[in-house]
Structure 1
Amino acid sequence: MKILHINTKDTGGAANACMRIHKSLLDKGIGSKVLVLRKTKNIPEVYQYSYWDFPKSRIDTLKRTIKLAIYERHLRNQRARMTVPVEILSYPTTIYDITEHPFYKEADIIQLNWVSGFLDEPSFFKKNTKPVIWRMADLYICGGGNHYEKEFPFNAYQDILNKNYIIRKASLEGKKINLVAISNWTKQKALDCELLKGQPITIIQNGIDTNIFKQYNKKLVREALGLPLEKKIILFGADVLSVPRKGMHLLFESINSLTENKNVLFCAFGNTYIPLKENILPLGPIGDEILLAMIYSAADLFIMPSIEETFGQVILESLACGTPIVSFPTGGALDTIKDNFNGFLAKDFTSKGLTAAIEKALSFSFNRDEIRNDIIRNFNVVDKADLFIDLYTSILNHKS
């Protein structure tokens, strides 16, 4: 059984989820490979697609050179049209033909993950002869280029979205796609999508490597990291402060309302600059997963303030380390967070609702061992790999 995963890059939350599945499949003896457009890490069986690997003649090379120049001009024009701020707006067309790659030709199943800017849908679905799985890392497949719905400026880009939707609809016409929803929330979004009517849907939630993300002694870790022993530490990730969907503006409103509590220290990891405040400690980017697990273990609480998210990886990372979570009621948080057990869900999508949930969590006595055990039982990536293998087997048996 040979599986080829397609992902635009090897970094980011969606890429991390893809790589965790891929590594677990390799551990189980499955012939798994990942093809990415942008490669920055050294991960076994992850390969970079090169546009220049396939010219068969000097004429073909010339054609590709011209095609690339036209495509790059097209990308510049796309960016110029984005006059209203937007998190991401993707197009279903690119110059990359995945079906000409030798890894495609040898694969039994093609698994699409986060493919924005990489997959050319018209050529792929026209030429494809393999069973296809589309793992819904977000809501990209449901529309005309938006990856999420909340806070997206639909009015500003309706013309582009409509054109993209027509292209996508034509590409998918009569094609079977095995959808994998990574949360019940995502499944419902797929069921509500006219474009995906009749496509089979399987729920396989994200999984986590519980051998890497595990519970460390809080006192020892805080001493090693130079964090105060006596304070309540609230952790959050801060990679994109400027994206409204990520809810960082709501979190900072909550932080401001909690400034009178001198016993609370907020710690932030990520690449984004954090405004300097007395009760906020920026930790900077954390590239090492073991160090990240230690930081989770040092915290009393993790906050995920996204107002729309299919399944944030940070949820599983934190819970696997025994650290409870406060989140808004969206995506994977609805499948994982149980009030009075491993965290609290805010009652609404406001800073007041978030603050109330944080205050409840700070006063609640959590059993961190049970929080971790729940993740081991229900969200271990090894078990999720088994579910994918079952799906692959079913698809191939049905094909034969």
Structure 2
Amino acid sequence: MNVLHISTNDTNGGAARATYRLHKSLRNLGVNSQMLVQEKYSNDNTVFAPKIRLFQGIARAKLTFEALPLKLYRQREQTTFSLQWLPDKVLPQVTQIAPDIINLHWVSGGFMQIETITKLQRPLVWTLHDMWAFTGGCHTSGDCDRYKASCGACPILSSNKDWDLTRWVWQRKAKAWKNLNLTIVSPSSWLAKCASSSSLFQNLRTEVIPNGLDTQIYRPINQPTARELLNLPQDKQLILFGAIQATSDKRKGFHLLQPALRELSKAGWKDRLEIVIFGASQPENPPDLAFKTHYLGHLYDDLTLATVYSAGNVMVVPSLQEAFGQTASESLACGTPVVAFNATGLKDIVDHQENGYLAKPFEVDDLAKGIAWVLENHQRYQKLSDYAREQAKQKFSIETITHRYLSLFKDIYGK
């Protein structure tokens, strides 16, 4: 069976890394798996992208033109919003590769026009990494559920008109995809429920398969060694926080972490804790987090990330919405408990008071309480850490996840 994964890139970002792990694992099982991307960051010769730098430059320039219609909405929220209306060169490349089945992943960023998907003429599996596939353009909908109907009057665009840009995007999707041979894969129960309640995907087969990871790479590393490698203190308990644009993407909850840390400082933890932030460099005017803070910048390779998780005592993932929450599963695999809100995709990863703590959504007091609860008792902490590692191996091992995907591919292709 020839499997083709289509993704905007191969290793830059959580969705891309999850896709690339699956691709490599399928090849390890003897499956002829390939990836088609807009931008290639790896040296893998089974990942295909435009070879001419001019084409890559054009792809980046497309983003500017893609966003032009959004300028009509001057009061819109500054969040990721994709229209996917410009032509692309995907179809000839897919035809040349000639796959038996196509696994779509995160294909926004101007990579694939909505109408291209219906022209692929192959059985399709779409692995959701956010909500874009079934909305009128947003990637996270917040409290809005207008995707259950036909979008329009979009709160993200600050629009009060039913016929707005989101209705146009929704109608293009509904028209183009109405007869697709399409199966949905969601990494979390929450996102699967959202997709199944959407007007676009409500009648489609939907499976829940978590994102996998290599538990031989994401494993506990001796903590003093990890801290020495990263030049972090040996005599403090370290709180980890990280994501792409960790401190600027509101969806990641940095604005909720800040007051929680101030509460911990007031509660007597001032001289015992320090903060480690990855996914962002130290800003010119760093915010006051009430504790000494170490900024590690952007990290791209798995081994460095595993070292960071192993260096910490607790990973805090205070996100407002997560399709899955890959930093949480990676941290657990390294034996580091996770504190998060009891909401969205993270509910599938963190078992309350077994491998971490699920705080009441989105209560800062309980987030601070959860961090303290994880750290304050050494014997309990060791149990949390041991259980975190064991659960991660059972639930998120890339080998287990790949076999589930392969079984799904065979079932769909056989039909």
| TM norm structure 1 | 0.89
Q: Which of 100, 105, 115 is the equivalent residue of 1:122?
A: 115
Q: Displacement, 1:128?
A: 2.6
1:124 aligned partner, one-letter code: I
Matched residues in 1 for 2:113 and 2:23: separation? 23
> Structure 2: which 5+ runs fail to align?
145-154
Q: Which of 332, 335, 340 is the equivalent residue of 1:322?
A: 335
Alignment of 1:165-244 (within 5 A): 165-240=170-245, 241-244=247-250
Q: Name the CA shift for 1:131/1:357 in 2 (closer, same or farther; >3 Å).
A: same
Secondary structure of 1:195's counterpart equals coil
- Alignment deviations for residues 127-168 of structure 1 (CA, whole Å, 9 cap, x no partner): 232101110111111111001111784352561111111111
- Alignment deviations for residues 150-200 of structure 1 (CA, whole Å, 9 cap, x no partner): 178435256111111111111111223100011111111111111112111
Q: Tell me if 1:287 matches 2:300.
A: yes
Q: Displacement, 1:78?
A: 3.1
Alignment of 1:244-393 (within 5 A): 244-260=250-266, 261=269, 262-274=271-283, 275=286, 277=288, 278-364=291-377, 365-366=380-381, 367=383, 368-393=385-410
Count of aligned positions: 384
Indicate the residue corresponding to 1:17 in structure 2.
18
Q: Name the CA shift for 1:174/1:391 in 2 (closer, same or farther; >3 Å).
A: same
Q: Does 297-306 or 276-285 show the bigger shift?
A: 276-285
Matched residues in 1 for 2:230 and 2:172: separation? 52
Matched residues in 2 for 1:197 and 1:96: separation? 28
Q: Displacement, 1:107?
A: 0.1
Q: Name the CA shift for 1:333/1:284 in 2 (closer, same or farther; >3 Å).
A: same
Indicate the residue corresponding to 2:37 in structure 1.
36
Q: Name the CA shift for 1:108/1:53 in 2 (closer, same or farther; >3 Å).
A: farther
Indicate the residue corresponding to 1:60 in structure 2.
none
Matched residues in 1 for 2:53 and 2:335: separation? 47
Matched residues in 2 for 1:371 and 1:73: separation? 43
Alignment of 1:75-86 (within 5 A): 75=66, 77-78=68-69, 80-81=71-72, 83=74, 84-86=76-78
Q: Displacement, 1:18?
A: 0.4
Q: Does the Cα contact within 8 Å between 2:67 and 2:82 map onto a contact in 1?
A: no
Matched residues in 2 for 1:40 and 1:393: separation? 30
Indicate the residue corresponding to 2:156 in structure 1.
154
Indicate the residue corresponding to 1:62 in structure 2.
none
Q: Displacement, 1:73?
A: 7.5
Q: Name the CA shift for 1:103/1:251 in 2 (closer, same or farther; >3 Å).
A: farther
Q: Name the CA shift for 1:43/1:171 in 2 (closer, same or farther; >3 Å).
A: same
Q: Displacement, 1:333?
A: 1.5
Q: Does the Cα contact within 8 Å between 1:97 and 1:120 map onto a contact in 2?
A: no
- Alignment deviations for residues 244-302 of structure 1 (CA, whole Å, 9 cap, x no partner): 21111001121222224220111111234351654212122223321221121111100
Q: Displacement, 1:103?
A: 5.4
Q: Does the Cα contact within 8 Å between 1:99 and 1:105 map onto a contact in 2?
A: no
Matched residues in 2 for 1:119 and 1:75: separation? 11
What RMSD, in angstroms, separates the aligned Cα atoms of the two structures?
2.5
- Alignment deviations for residues 110-140 of structure 1 (CA, whole Å, 9 cap, x no partner): 1110011212121330x23210111011111
1:15 aligned partner, one-letter code: A
Secondary structure of 2:158's counterpart equals helix
Matched residues in 2 for 1:384 and 1:155: separation? 37
Q: Which of 125, 134, 142 is the equivalent residue of 1:133?
A: 125
Q: Name the CA shift for 1:139/1:297 in 2 (closer, same or farther; >3 Å).
A: same
Secondary structure of 1:154's counterpart equals coil
| Percentage of matched positions with identical amino acids | 30
Matched residues in 2 for 1:224 and 1:271: separation? 19
Q: Does the Cα contact within 8 Å between 2:236 and 2:274 map onto a contact in 1?
A: yes
Q: Name the CA shift for 1:150/1:73 in 2 (closer, same or farther; >3 Å).
A: closer
Q: Name the CA shift for 1:250/1:33 in 2 (closer, same or farther; >3 Å).
A: same
Q: Name the CA shift for 1:51/1:165 in 2 (closer, same or farther; >3 Å).
A: farther
Q: Displacement, 1:25?
A: 0.5
Secondary structure of 1:32's counterpart equals strand
Q: Does the Cα contact within 8 Å between 1:4 and 1:104 map onto a contact in 2?
A: no
Q: Name the CA shift for 1:353/1:82 in 2 (closer, same or farther; >3 Å).
A: farther
Q: Tell me if 1:6 matches 2:6.
A: yes
Q: Does the Cα contact within 8 Å between 2:213 and 2:397 map onto a contact in 1?
A: yes
Indicate the residue corresponding to 2:148 in structure 1.
none
Matched residues in 1 for 2:69 and 2:356: separation? 42
Matched residues in 2 for 1:171 and 1:338: separation? 40
Q: Name the CA shift for 1:123/1:207 in 2 (closer, same or farther; >3 Å).
A: closer
2:299 aligned partner, one-letter code: I
Q: Does 340-349 or 15-24 show the bigger shift?
A: 340-349
Matched residues in 1 for 2:217 and 2:244: separation? 22
Q: Does 137-146 or 285-294 show the bigger shift?
A: 285-294
Matched residues in 1 for 2:299 and 2:178: separation? 43
Q: Does the Cα contact within 8 Å between 1:37 and 1:50 map onto a contact in 2?
A: no
Matched residues in 2 for 1:225 and 1:51: separation? 37
Q: Does 150-159 or 229-238 show the bigger shift?
A: 150-159
Matched residues in 1 for 2:96 and 2:318: separation? 38
> Structure 1: which 5+ runs fail to align?
55-66
Q: Does 358-367 or 316-325 show the bigger shift?
A: 358-367
